[in-house]
Amino acid sequence: MGEFFDIFIGSTDVFFQGLWLTLRLSVVSLLIAIVIGLFFAMLKISRIKILEIIADLYIWVVRGTPLIVQIFILYYGLASIWLIPEFWAASIGLAFHSGAYIAEIIRGSIQSIAKGQNEAARSLGMNRRLTMRRIVLPQAFRRAVPALGNQFIIGIKDSSLASFIGLQELFGVSNTMGSNSFNYLPYFFTVAIYYLVIVLVLTVAVNQLEKKLAVSD
């Protein structure tokens, strides 16, 4: 126990570097994932068969393969054509992955917006695009906040896989230090606490955001 506290206190600077990388990876991949998710959500509701099939295919591939395989294919596969830095390989891999889940989240929340909203906007002369951008999406995003927050939390934990392509994010740091000292367990306990705290902070933040958005409803 004493050993664990020594490590926990003594290695904060290294862990903080790992934490910083984890946060950057998670946020960057979330932002890319939202763009990807929005794009495929639009394909899914386009009512154009071929576009729907493309979106389904994407979601099927993402759901049907392990994330680590996706990251490896992206990193080693793309590396043969174009040397992509580890950070971006991991960010894009993670985004490609959560993008599929986010596409389903956004599609669901778009479809949960009452039909009357669409009709009211159209009856005012707003075209489909404008209606989507100004009326439906802002409401859909608000409604999606809890699910997106949840997906972000999953993304933070998933970002630990980036260590497999050499990134010293939180998990990578704990793994490296563990192997250097031949004493893994205290480092893994330490990293677990870091993840728990991030997730706790994030859960509270999402709840607050949710409450704040509800006020204007």
Partner 1 sequence: MTKPREMIRVEKLNKSFGDLHVLYDIDLKVNESDVVVLIGASGSGKSTLLRCLNFLEFKDDGKIVIEGEQVEAATHDLNKVRAKVGMVFQHFNLFPHKTVLGNVIEAPIQVKGMSKKEAVKEGKRLLDKVGLGDKYDIYPSRLSGGQKQRVAIARALAMQPDIMLFDEPTSALDPELVGEVLETMKELGEEGMTMVVVTHEMGFAREVGDWVVYMNEGRIVEEGQPDHIFDHPKEERTKAFLNSIL
Footprint on this chain of partner 1 (rule: CB under 8 A): 114, 116-117, 119-127, 130, 134-135, 138-139, 142, 215-217
What is the token pair recorded at 128?
């489909």
Nearest CB to partner 1, comparing residues 1 and 215: 215
Nearest CB to partner 1, comparing residues 63 and 134: 134
CB of 109 to partner 1, least distance (A): 13
In angstroms, rounded to a whole number, what is the distance separating the alpha carbons of residues 177 and 102?
Answer: 34
Alpha helices (runs of H) in 73-158, residue ranges in sequence order: 78-79, 86-112, 115-123, 128-130, 137-158
CB of 215 to partner 1, least distance (A): 8
Count other C-beta atoms under 10 Å from residue 198's C-beta. Answer: 18
CB of 150 to partner 1, least distance (A): 22
The separation between CA 27 and the C-alpha centre of its own chain, rounded to angstroms, equals: 7
CB of 185 to partner 1, least distance (A): 50
In angstroms, rounded to a whole number, what is the distance separating the alpha carbons of residues 109 and 211?
Answer: 17
In angstroms, rounded to a whole number, what is the distance separating the alpha carbons of residues 138 and 109?
Answer: 10
Nearest CB to partner 1, comparing residues 180 and 216: 216
Nearest CB to partner 1, comparing residues 49 and 115: 115
